[in-house]
Amino acid sequence: MSNAERRLSELGFQLPRPAVLPPGVRIPFSWVRVHGSRAFASGHGPLAPDGTMAGPVGQVPSEVSLEQAQSAGVLALLSMLSSLKQAIGSLDRIDAWLTVTGFVNAAPDFELTTMVLNPASELLLEVFGPEVGAHARTAVGYSTLPFRLPVVISAELEIAGATA
């Protein structure tokens, strides 16, 4: 088990299983694109432990509360970490987080998109430490997200070692 997963486990979190797509959904793209030492994570939504989509869905805060959206942000981060583990073998190969982009399914007058993503950013810093985990971030509101997910997260990272 990687150090990152041990820290997650100590904090009471676990990585979900790989995403189980709804019937009929194709994804002609990579959950994580690795090229040399660079890794790009596609937009990830919140997953239940078994890899199925985790609810609730809809707009923040009218259909999904701020607190629910914050939890969804953490689950989206965990699903991204699960994809990263699959793609690069171990989360301990992550040398540096560079950017985290947070997408919030937001009502037009919702102004707390920053707060929606903060628990995910804080977890990332706790798990990877302040040097590796530091990241630039944008977290803004979108008129709609795939499957009406409340939060989606993507990222760019630097990884160590050669890719098999």
Instruction: Kindly give, in sequence order, each residue whose CB lies less than 8 Å from that of residue 92, ignoring residues fewer than 6 positions away.
Output: 2, 3, 4
Applying CB under 8 A, does 146 fall inside the site for a copy of itself?
A: yes
Count interface residues toward a copy of itself (CB under 8 A): 55
25-54: contacts with a copy of itself (CB under 8 A): 25-33, 35, 38, 40-43
- Span of 4-12, 19-27, 46-54, 68-76 interacting with a copy of itself by CB under 8 A: 19-27
Distance between CA 58 and CA 65 in Å, rounded? 10
Residues 100-119, one symbol each (x = binds a copy of itself by CB under 8 A, - = not), give xx-x--xxxxxxxxx---x-
Burial of 55 (0-12, 13-18, 19+ CB in 10 A): middle
CB nearer to a copy of itself: pick between 1 and 136: 136
C-alpha 1/C-alpha 89 separation (Å) is 11
Tokens (6 digits) for 37: 């030492």
Would you count residue 99 as binding a copy of itself (CB under 8 A)? yes
Q: How far is the CB of 1 from a copy of itself (least distance, A)?
A: 25
Each residue 67-96 as x (binds a copy of itself by CB under 8 A) or -, in order, gives: -----------------------------x
Binding flag, residue 134, a copy of itself (CB under 8 A) = yes
Whose tokens are 């009929």? That residue is 24
Closest C-alpha among 79, 104, 84 to residue 94:
84
> Which of 68, 79, 82, 121 contacts a copy of itself by CB under 8 A?
121
Q: What is the DSSP string of 77-95?
A: HHHHHHHHHHHHS-GGGEE
